[in-house]
Structure 1
Amino acid sequence: MKKFISGLLAMLCVIAISGCANKQTTSTNEKEVTLVLDYLPNTNHTGIYVAQKNGYFKEEGLKVNIIEPGDNNTSAALVAAGKGQFGVSYQEDVTYALTAQDPMPIKAIATIIQHNTSGFVALKDSGITSPKDFEGKTYAGWQSPSEEAVINAVMKSVNADPSKLKMVGADGNGLSQLNSGIDLLWEFKGWAITKAEMEGMNFNYMPLNELDERLDYYTPVIITNNEMLEKDPQTVQKFMNAVKKGYEYAIDNPDASAEILHEYIPDYDIAFLKKSQAYLSEEYAKDAQSWGVMKDSVWDGYTDFMYENGLIDKKISADTQYTNEFVK
């Protein structure tokens, strides 16, 4: 009898705890939400971790769980499915999601960085300084349709023949592949390139946003789902208040914000994080009135590029893909 009562009480406790969890609140009456990253934590995400560490989320009455998407999911898919209320994604993924046969109910609510900080990279002594030099070379990448479309476009723009570039899959060793028979990679200036330069490698870097203005798209962006926008815009605003405050702190305090990020990713060298952060702190709101604000011209430009290159089968307007409502 005692065992039966004990078991019953334990089961009731589990039910009670589950019920509390389903309400997405904590014992301190903070509203609990989940943010799904696009990848492993890095300096793209610094403002988010600053908001966590400095209590900006708590000031807004929020408890934010920060998770990674896992190998078989994207943040866009998880946020669309309600597995997270917010996510870090990319402009192209948002456009793909909204032009799919079964569109995902998501929208971008801020850009983390104002300009595309990625580009093609080759060793300094390779002689590769322009897409015109790509002919006869070997490129290693993730072999996606959008990647191939970008390479074809930038080569054709200088009358180079894309069929003369050999494209293979990356081996996961980053920029060290350039010492192993690979001539070209596509990397981000503020992370992989900065790290390799600190290790003594020298590069020719060709920024995408200088090769074609339509390639100066937003990457990464913060997204939410339509249910949050329609039913709980107050929480969206509170979340973005805290995140914006975090990135504004990172813009003004690159070293201190790098130290905060280091607490969450201690395996990375602090000198590298500070170098990376110094670069990105200048890029977060570059040429913008304030952090996070986006433009129709950027969304329309890359949507046109995707359509012209057969990546999507219809165009959609910028205002269906993003809103500045929560970062003004």
Structure 2
Amino acid sequence: MKRVGLALLVVILLSVPACGESLTLVLDWFPNIDHLPLYVAQERGFFAEAGLKVNIVSPSETADALKLVAAGKSELGISYEPQVLVATSEKVPVTVVGRLIGHPLSTVLYIKGRGIEKPADLSGRPMGYTVAGMEDVLAKAFCDLNGIKDYKLVHLEFAIVPSLISGKVDSVMGGFRNYEVVELELQGYKPGYFALEEHGFPDYDELVVIANPQFVKENEKAIVSFRNALSKAIAEIKKDPQSALTDYFKAIPESDKKLERLALEKTLPFYAEDQNLSVDRWKTFADFALKVGLISRPVEVEPILWTE
């Protein structure tokens, strides 16, 4: 009996991912509906069923996930495709292992009724941007691609909605079509936006899961398990969004329920269809990033994308 028990213990131990009982995942921002698949996977036990205990951590700033993952201080993190390409071009070691949001949420946001109907109407007006070194470059690219002239770029940090309402700027590069749009609507304004992928930008993954390259090399089974749990969670969200929202409110009880309900409606079409990381799609955006000056040297995308 002791030998049988020992054999069973060995089998159990071998089935547990090499990373141990717990993985730390650092978000890109505070918890929100963009992260819903993570919380559904957590609340419904999909991670646990896969032998994973995922500790979801909020960062102090949006670049924390990249820094901590690259330094080996966190196994997983959430980042943005443009941010990953910038980091890779600067030799920051990260591997992309999955997707949360499979299309751009970022837009050039404005308020309707103020004389803006087409991109060219932004000529001669101040345009805000959020993240310096990334969104300002993308703002210039948007203006160049769409014939916008005599504009002034204004760094807003993340005061997007107040800056639009006050008239400090007439548009903002980096306003999300799910959150800032809803915030404007809740304050009685009619938001409008220019979708990047409809105005000269290649389609790209808004939010991706990144991992420490050494961790990936040593824990491929854990990565497969994580991706499977994430896929299962996204399928559940699309099947029954309201039930998924209940899970989210259980996990994040302090969230603004009205805002999150409305944001979910706008986010549903953008959750990743699968966990496949397209080399061709990433290469197209990397080439675009080089052309517009977001990155200063070419990036080979295949080595940073993990595929089963």
Bucket of the pairwise TM-score, normalised by the shorter protein: 0.7 to 0.9
Distance 1:148 1:173 in 2: 15
Q: Report the secondary structure of 2:29's partner residue.
A: coil
Higher mean C-alpha deviation, range 149-158 or range 76-85 = 149-158
Do residues 255 (structure 1) and 242 (structure 2) align?
Answer: yes
Residue of structure 2 in register with 1:137 after alignment? 125
Amino acid at match of 2:89: T
Counterparts of residues 294-313 of structure 1 (less than 5 Å): 294-313=277-296
Q: Report the secondary structure of 2:53's partner residue.
A: strand
Q: How far off is 1:172 after superposition?
A: 4.2
Amino acid at match of 2:156: A
Name which of 38, 45, 55 aligns with 1:48.
38
Residue of structure 2 in register with 1:268 after alignment? 255
Contact 2:101–2:207 at 8 Å: present in 1 too? Answer: yes
Name which of 176, 197, 208 aligns with 1:209.
197
Residue of structure 2 in register with 1:166 after alignment? 152
Distance 1:143 1:110 in 2: 23
Do residues 78 (structure 1) and 61 (structure 2) align?
Answer: no
> Structure 1 residues 31, 171: closer, same or farther in 2, change over 3 A?
closer
Deviations 1:56-79 (A, max 9, x none): 111111111111222385211101
Name which of 218, 222, 244 aligns with 1:235.
222
Q: Report the secondary structure of 2:137's partner residue.
A: helix
Q: How far off is 1:171 after superposition?
A: 6.1
Residue of structure 2 in register with 1:59 after alignment? 49
Distance 1:268 1:196 in 2: 18
Name which of 211, 229, 233 aligns with 1:224.
211
Q: How far off is 1:46 after superposition?
A: 0.3
Q: How far off is 1:117 after superposition?
A: 1.8
Residue of structure 1 in register with 2:88 after alignment? 98
Residue of structure 2 in register with 1:196 after alignment? 184
Q: How far off is 1:143 after superposition?
A: 5.4
Q: Report the secondary structure of 2:260's partner residue.
A: helix
Amino acid at match of 2:178: G
Distance 1:71 1:153 in 2: 25
Q: How far off is 1:34 after superposition?
A: 0.4
Contact 1:258–1:270 at 8 Å: present in 2 too? Answer: no
Amino acid at match of 1:48: L
Any unmatched runs of 5+ in structure 2? 1-15
> Structure 1 residues 172, 87: closer, same or farther in 2, change over 3 A?
closer
Q: How far off is 1:33 after superposition?
A: 0.8
Q: How far off is 1:210 after superposition?
A: 0.6
Amino acid at match of 1:174: I
Residue of structure 2 in register with 1:20 after alignment? none
> Structure 1 residues 141, 148: closer, same or farther in 2, change over 3 A?
closer
- Indicate the structure (1 or 2) with the bigger Cα radius of gyration: 1
TM-score, structure 2 normalization = 0.87
RMSD over aligned Cα atoms: 2.1
Do residues 127 (structure 1) and 110 (structure 2) align?
Answer: no
Higher mean C-alpha deviation, range 313-322 or range 203-212 = 313-322
> Percent identity between the aligned chains?
27
Contact 1:218–1:298 at 8 Å: present in 2 too? Answer: no
Any unmatched runs of 5+ in structure 1? 1-25
Distance 2:157 2:131 in 1: 12
> Structure 1 residues 93, 157: closer, same or farther in 2, change over 3 A?
closer
Contact 1:139–1:184 at 8 Å: present in 2 too? Answer: yes
Deviations 1:263-316 (A, max 9, x none): 23333332332221122222214xxxx422232232112211221123323212
Distance 2:165 2:267 in 1: 27
Distance 1:197 1:42 in 2: 18
Distance 1:33 1:268 in 2: 24
Distance 2:206 2:170 in 1: 25
Contact 1:252–1:281 at 8 Å: present in 2 too? Answer: no
Distance 1:171 1:236 in 2: 34
Distance 1:171 1:154 in 2: 19
Q: How far off is 1:159 after superposition?
A: 2.8
Q: How far off is 1:158 after superposition?
A: 3.1
Higher mean C-alpha deviation, range 114-123 or range 44-53 = 114-123
Distance 2:230 2:131 in 1: 33
Distance 1:319 1:217 in 2: 15
Distance 1:136 1:307 in 2: 27
> Structure 1 residues 152, 173: closer, same or farther in 2, change over 3 A?
closer
